[in-house]
Structures are given as C-alpha cells and as structure tokens.
Amino acid sequence: MSDHPCDVLTPEQVREALGSGVSTGSPSDLEQVGPGCDWGNTETLGGMQIGFSTVSRAGLSAQYANTKPQVAIFRELPSVGGFPAVAFKASENDRICTVAVGIADEYSITSTVGLSAEKEAEGVDSCVPAEKVAEMVVGNLKAKAGE
C-alpha cells in the first residue's frame, strides 16, 4: 500500500462519484489509522473520503471490534472486488455511509460517501455510492498490483 489515497482514483472517477465542480483531493491522514484523502463538491454538498487502515494492522476485524458496537447499521456485503466488506452508518437514512474492505489480513480500505442534497432528497441509500467508490478503489489497486 505505497500509494496515498489521494492518488488512488482517477480525476474521471472522482467526477463520476461527485459530479463536476469537485475539489482536488486533500490529505486527511489520521495518525491512529493511516493515510486518508477528502474530496468535496461545494455546489452539490456531496463529498467522500478514502482511507487506508494500515496502522493497527487489524484489517477488517478492527471494524467488527471497534465500529460495530457503536453504529445502528452494520451490514456484511457479499464482496467488493472479491474481498470481504462491511457497510455501516449511524441510521438507516443517514446521508453518510462508510464501506470498509479487507484487502489483506492486516489492511483495509474505507470509502465514506456523503450524499449530495439532491440525492438525499431522492432518498438514495448512502451505502450504494460508498460501495461503488470502494469497487473503483479496489479495482485500481488490483490493476496497479498487476492482478
């Protein structure tokens, strides 16, 4: 996991996720977790964050141990890019959802999406775009690794 999360999506993928008018990625590293990157769209109020959980070396099990007891919605996903994954958010209609993907026993990536005002008004499940972004990240990482 040498790349920074700000470099893991192409500009086209970021625009696909958040629309035109999106900011360039801004590093949001967390000392206790690992590197991260934020993007936002001031026109639509949508945003997303990609994080690499590398510090604890606990992989997806950290989400089960630390996150699951603290959130109302915690669902296992069939898989994201062939890897185990979970989605979680504070409530069923929360505009923010995080998808965590265990890409190795000791590493996971997270994709957090905050819906635009329009998508929130339409009643879109915030975990759907979060999973789509996670698929893009995993696909890019696999391509870079030559898989």
5-145 folds as Protein Transport Mog1p; Chain A (3.40.1000)
109 Cβ neighbours under 8 A, 6+ residues apart: 5, 50, 51, 52, 53, 100, 101, 103, 134, 137, 138, 141
Q: What is the per-residue pLDDT for 60? A: 93
Rounded Cα–Cα distance for residues 87 and 121 (Å): 21
28 HSE (CA, 13 A, CB side): 14
The 10s digit of each residue's pLDDT in 86-96 is 999 999 999 99
The 10s digit of each residue's pLDDT in 70-126 is 999 999 999 999 999 999 999 999 999 999 999 998 999 999 999 999 999 999 999
Which stretches within the chain are classed as H helix? 11-18, 61-62, 117-122, 127-145
Tokens representing residue 123 in the block: 């009643």
The 10s digit of each residue's pLDDT in 7-59 is 999 999 999 999 988 988 999 988 888 999 999 999 999 999 999 988 888 88
